[in-house]
Structure formats: C-alpha cells, structure tokens
Amino acid sequence: MRLSTYTKPRINNTKPTVKNINKIRIALAGNPNSGKTSIFNALTGESQHVGNYPGVTVEKKIGTIERDNKIIEIIDLPGTYSLTAFSIEEIVTRDFVLKEKPDVIIDILDSTNLERNLYLCLQFQELGVPIIGALNMTDEAQKSGINIDEHQLGIILGIPFVKTIGSKGKGVEELLKLALQIEDGSLPTSTRKLNYGPELESQIEKLITILKTDENFSYRYPMHWMAIKLLENDNDAINRINNKHEHSNAVLKEAEKSRSWIFRHFGDDSEIVVSEQRYAYIHGACREVVKTDSLSNKIDYTESIDKIVLNKYFGLVIFLGIMFLIYHLTFTIGNPISGFIDHFFSWLNLLITRSLPEGILRDFLVEAIIGGVGGVLVFFPIVLLLFMGLSFLEDTGYMARAAFVMDKFMHIFGLHGRSFIPMMISTGCAVPGVMSARTLVNPKDRVLTILVSPLMMCGAKTPVIAMLASAFFAHRAGIVFWSIWFLGWVTALIIAKIFRLTYYRGEASPFVMELPPYRVPTTRGVMTHVWEKSWTYVKKAGTFILAASIVIWFFLYFPRPHKQMAAYQKSKIELEQKIENQTKLSNNSIDENQLILKYQNELTELNNDFVNRKLKNSYAGRLGRFIEPVFKSCGFEWKVDIALIAGFAAKEVIISTMGIVYGIGNADDNENADMEKSTPLKQKLQSDTHYNARNVLALMVFILIYVPCMATLAVVKKELGKWKYPLFLAGYTLILAWTLATIIYQISGFFPIGG
C-alpha cells in the first residue's frame, strides 16, 4: 500500500492496465555540479539520446533501460538550484513535473553541500511527486569529514535516501531498485514533513480552502504547493490561476491579503519568509543527522588552486594562456584534418566528374550536393576538437573561474563573463563559437553574445582579407590585417553595448554564480559532451547548410547560356582536336611542343572565358550587376558584388569566385584557397585600375562584417530556435558592413593611404 500523500490522478483507473506495456519514467534532477550527469551515465549506459524540451533550447537527454521486464525511461532534467519561474531551466523542470508527471524523481544531492541541495529536494516534495534522494559524492564528503546518517534524514524528511558515488557507479543499482519499489507502491515516499510554522501554515490553509473552490483546478495541481507559490508571489503560478481557476479573482485577492498579513507579522516579504522557514527546517534536520568531524585534517585543494588561478593579476594571464592553448591546439590539429576531408571531397568530385556525362545532373552532384555535404563536414573536426577542450574545462570546474576573471571587462559592454569564450572561439570559426554560447544561462546574455560573435575575423575570412592586404598594402600588410582582426572585436563589443542599451535593455541578470570545486574530469564525461554537441551540429545545422548550398548553387548556375554554350563546345572540341593531332604527329621538336603549349593556353583561356560568361549570365551575376549602384558608395564594382553574394555560402569562396569573374579560372580548383594559390588573382587585382587602397580597405571591412556564412546562420537558428534571430543577424550585419565600408571609402579619399 502506498503511504504517501502523493495523489497522482489516475485517469484511466477503470481500464485494466498491462504493466509491461507502461513505461516507467524516472526523472533525474538536482543542483548544477551535483554529479547528475555521471549518475545519468551510470544508469543509462550507452542508450542515450538528446533532444530539446518543447519550445526551448534546453537540452533533454533520455535513456531507456530494461529491468525486471519493465521498460524504464530515464529523463535528465536541467540542473537547477530552485523551482522558481525565473530561468528557463527551472520553468522546464517545473513544467515537466507538473505536466508529464514522472513516476519517480531521483534528486541528486551534493553531500558536501547538503543544506543548499535539500532546498531543491523539498521543493520537489512540495510538488507532490514521489522522490528519492541520492546523497552523491559521498566519498568527497567523507574526505572532508562530513558524515550523514541517511536513514535518520529519510525519517525526518519523509524521503528515502541512498548514498552514491556517481563517478564510480556506486549506489546506482540501489537507486533503481528503490525507484521500482516506489513505482509499484511497496515503498512509501514524499510524506511531506516540512512545516512552515503555525503562522504560515494557517495562511496556507486559508489559501488551500479557497483554491479548492474549483474542483478541476485542485485536481490538476498539488494544492499545498500552489498555496506556497501564491505566498511567494510566483508569476507562473499566478498565470496558471488567471488562466485556469474558476474564481481566479477571489484566489488572488486572498493571496494578496495573506502576503500582506505575513509582511506585517514578520516584517519581511512573504517570499523571503517562506525561504527562510524552508532553510530553517533544513538546518534543523541537518543538525540532527550530519556529523562533522572537525578533527579531520582536510586540505582544501580547490582553495589552494584558486589562490593561484584566481589571483588578481595572474588570473587574467592564466586565463588567456589556457584560451590560447585550446585555440591553438584545435586549429593546429583540426586544420589538417579539415584539409584532409576537403581533399577527400575533391577526390570524390573528380571521380564523379569522370564517371558521369557532362550535364546538369553532374554539375548538381559535384557543385551543390558534394559542395554542401563537404561544407558541413569540413567544420566537423574543428567543432569536435574545440568542444573537447571546452568540455574538459567545464568538467574541471574552470569555466566558472574564466567567467569570474572576464566578467567586469565584458560587463562594461553589457555582456557576461561567459560571453568571452564564444567570442574568442569565433575568431577561429563562428560555428562552434555560437554553439559554445550555451554556457550562458540567461537568455538575454546568450542572444546578445550570439548576435555579435560572428563579427569576428574567422578562419574563412582570414585568407580573403590576408590576400587583399598583401596585394595592396605591401610591407604594411601585417598591420592592416591585424587592425582588421582587432576591428572585429571592437565592433562586436560596441554593437553589444548598443543592443544592450536599446532592444535588450532592462534589469541586469544576476551574476550570482557558484564556483564549483575542481574535479578531475572523466574521459567518459568529456567524450559524451563532445559527441552530443558535434553530432547535433551535423544533424541539425547540416540539413540547413545542404539546403542553402543547393539554393546558392542554383543562383550561380542558372540560367544557362545555351547559345554561347554551343559555340564554346565547338571551339573546345576544335582545340582539343588540334592538340591531339599535334601530339600524335609530334616528334618532340621544340617548335611543335610550343605549338601544343599554345593550344593548351588557348584552351585554358577559352575555359576561363566561358565560366566567366556563365557566371555573369547567372541569376547571381545579374543580381550583382543589378545591385551595383547600391555598393557604388563603398567603391565596389559588380564583379566584387558577385563574389560577395557567393561568399554567403562560405567566406573563402570569395577568392575562387573573384578568380572566375576576373577570368583567371577557379583560383582554388581542387586546392584550398590560401594566399599562394591565389597569387594570379592577386596580380590581376593589382593591375586592375579599378582597385586601389581605398576600396580594398572598404572591401576588407565589408567582408569582415557582412552577413555571416550560411553555416553560422544555420547554427544560430538551431541554438536560438527562432528564424527571427538569424534573419536579424543577417540584416543588421549587412547594413553595418555597408555603412562602415561607405564611410571608409568616402573618408579615405581625403588621406593618402596604401603602401
């Protein structure tokens, strides 16, 4: 017989239910840094999959296992300190418990911080769900001389407790056993023992009476919990009453009365009084069951490390050093792998080009599909490696310190200490940069950080800007390049400040942040994080990038110049014939070899001329010419405009497209676009009278800032969930880039620049 006060509405009570078909659902909850993930991993093994909670981008991890012929679904709830309605994580957790009504909640508690962890545990109890407490990190608690009598604690709070060590999987089986016993009713739990004292309880009683006037409502929510939430003036609870309670006005009026009564009686807000009572109760319980061995000679390693790592002066140096190391390692290891993947796709292209007949299908496969898939996978090693480094830092507990070190500086610009890392990573690649903004808990901070991170000079903009700088600024190219790099940071910070003062203004979000004890990360933990993040990138962003790549291909490919094509084919065949004939007759004399070379050159020129015409004639080419007047003020001609349109696919494409428009062929045919390969383009641009230091400077700034590549826009959509964000990002960067480029081009006319 179940002894609990938990009243789960069993709507289908009348129907006979077959136990085996019903899944048992266990939710894992707990404070951040309580070791929830390691318990989740120990419980579910390999059977995890990651999704999102409906409507928000909070990750939802689910694992399914089987025990005693029962299918058990284990849901990982976000880590929270409380169940208020302030953060997405807390709302998600609360909604999940209220709507989905899991069979059991396992609350993971950090034994070294029992009081604060029990604060959350008791709120779950108030929600009326069957609950088990896992006293996790028992080993660490014992080391620091904390001994908890879990049976006594269970009796006092009305919840069964199990001692666990998540990282070693200890106690996990017992948790599962208890969960099953609770589910089948053989073990009582959640008998609320917490008493808020006669004054508060009398107000709670009053509110429950009036809440019960709506029968449907009182069936839906635990009444004691609802009454407390009303005393706490909880927005979410008030909304629920407004929307769903028959006598909402009367209830809210009564709640108002109760709150002011408490204020008069205690001299403090009722929300504070409620929390104080809860803490007081927990404190009393802990005094009875926790024995602290003050003689144990424990060394506070965390404090010893913090003395160095958070040292007022060394702190910043250490932080920048660590960031540089991770960044450097990622790109030195990742770039060759990316290069390898790139080569693989080039090889695949060649294979298809050779085995399929010329035509639209072949071009589509080679340019759109392989180009798109390759574009996704080329980022993969970088994303993977970067997240390996970041997950390692996160799991050691250093991430919070990094935020501590950088917070003041970032806060000047309306950002959060944690905003620095996504921005820093974006100087390598904005795709993982935007993804790493997940460490920002507050949605405003996160949106703001994501909206400015793509302004950084990334790995794909680098070769384009470096090429332009070296072509037009000679010995000053280095300074010019780094100034542009630096401009990325300055612009991002200023724009962040502007957004904060305008659209995203409002009450500052609390910084209040726990600095968790340092821990040695487990390989398993780090790899799980890394895999989840990288794989969702490929799956979610990948589909969009592929689609966008097809669209861009379409614009660059159609309409086809049929007339010119026939003429081109004819001359091509003629030339090829000539070369072939000459080669057959050849007796290797110098004259004849030169003749062959001449024909070959003609053929190349013919090819270049043809791709040039094709591009000019395409929709993108027409668009480029059509928009030329708009970019006249920046000093760009239509050829540049086409390259910029193509650069939306990926910034490095700007070089190859310019190669085509300037009739020197595809500058990066089967090679990575880098400075040496684009030397012919460089010379071509230098000799082109249209170019000078003025418009090249404007162009570099424009490329730095204008619309992020589609891969970035895809992850922005994925991370923030709504299309309005990538659209806004694309819009404002385009306007900003145009404005800055125009200013630079117009003003620089008054100064002698160039080198």
| Interface positions with other proteins (CB under 8 A) | 81-82, 84, 86, 112-116, 119, 271-272, 275-276, 279, 302-303, 306, 310, 312-313, 315-316, 400, 404-405, 407-409, 411, 417, 507-517
Name which of 274 and 457 has its Cβ closer to other proteins.
274
CB of 146 to other proteins, least distance (A): 8
* Opening angle at CA 606, ends 605 and 611, nearest 5: 100
Name which of 114 and 460 has its Cβ closer to other proteins.
114
CB of 52 to other proteins, least distance (A): 24
Name which of 87 and 203 has its Cβ closer to other proteins.
87
Q: Specify the residue for token string 């494409």.
A: 653
Q: Which helix (H) or strand (E) holds 190?
A: none
For residue 225, how far is the Cα from the chain centroid? 34
* Paired tokens of 79: 């880590």
Residue 78 backbone dihedrals phi, psi, to 5 degrees: -65, 150
* Direct distance between the N- and C-terminal alpha carbons of the chain, in angstroms, rounded to an integer: 88
In angstroms, the CA 564 to CA 344 distance is 33
In angstroms, the CA 676 to CA 659 distance is 13
CB of 148 to other proteins, least distance (A): 12
Name which of 23 and 283 has its Cβ closer to other proteins.
283
* Paired tokens of 89: 């994580």
CA atoms within 13 A on the CB side of 688: 23
In this structure, are residues 91 and 42 in contact, taking their beta carbons and an 8 Å threshold? no
Closest CA to 78 of 114, 127, 29, 121: 29
In angstroms, the CA 755 to CA 752 distance is 10
Name which of 512 and 520 has its Cβ closer to other proteins.
512
CB of 285 to other proteins, least distance (A): 15
CA atoms within 13 A on the CB side of 628: 9
In angstroms, the CA 238 to CA 249 distance is 10
CB of 317 to other proteins, least distance (A): 10
CB of 57 to other proteins, least distance (A): 20
CB of 275 to other proteins, least distance (A): 5
CB of 431 to other proteins, least distance (A): 30
CB of 112 to other proteins, least distance (A): 5
Residue 584, number of CB atoms within 10 A of its CB: 7
In angstroms, the CA 36 to CA 32 distance is 8
Name which of 112 and 633 has its Cβ closer to other proteins.
112
Name which of 113 and 439 has its Cβ closer to other proteins.
113
CB of 195 to other proteins, least distance (A): 18
Name which of 508 and 565 has its Cβ closer to other proteins.
508
In angstroms, the CA 7 to CA 1 distance is 13
Residue 42, number of CB atoms within 10 A of its CB: 22
The DSSP secondary structure of 369-437, one letter per residue, reads IIHHHHHHHHHHHHHHHHHHHHHHHHHHTHHHHHHHHHHHHHHHTT--GGGHHHHHHHTT-HHHHHHGG
CB of 393 to other proteins, least distance (A): 17
Name which of 141 and 430 has its Cβ closer to other proteins.
141
Q: Specify the residue for token string 């950002």.
A: 415
Altogether, the residues listed in the chain come to a count of 755
In angstroms, the CA 607 to CA 68 distance is 71
CB of 304 to other proteins, least distance (A): 12
In this structure, are residues 102 and 72 in contact, taking their beta carbons and an 8 Å threshold? no
In this structure, are residues 118 and 286 in contact, taking their beta carbons and an 8 Å threshold? yes
In this structure, are residues 245 and 164 in contact, taking their beta carbons and an 8 Å threshold? no
CB of 50 to other proteins, least distance (A): 27
**CB-based burial of residue 754 (10 Å sphere; 0-12 exposed, 13-18 middle, 19+ buried)?**
middle
State which amino acid sits at residue 497: K
CB of 119 to other proteins, least distance (A): 7
List all residues 6 or more positions away from 402 whose beta carbon is below 8 Å from its beta carbon: 319, 322, 323, 393, 417, 418, 420, 421
Closest CA to 230 of 254, 266, 212: 254
Secondary structure class of 122 (helix, strand, coil) = helix
Q: Specify the residue for token string 């006005």.
A: 249
Whether the CA torsion 143, 147, 150, 151 is positive or negative: it is: positive
CB of 407 to other proteins, least distance (A): 5
In angstroms, how far apart are the furthest CA atoms of the chain?
112
CB of 142 to other proteins, least distance (A): 14
Closest CA to 491 of 666, 682, 705: 705
Q: Which helix (H) or strand (E) holds 49?
A: strand 48-52
* Paired tokens of 179: 């969960």
Secondary structure class of 582 (helix, strand, coil) = helix
List all residues 6 or more positions away from 638 whose beta carbon is below 8 Å from its beta carbon: 624, 625, 627, 628
CB of 438 to other proteins, least distance (A): 20
Name which of 428 and 517 has its Cβ closer to other proteins.
517
CB of 279 to other proteins, least distance (A): 6
Q: Specify the residue for token string 């990360």.
A: 521
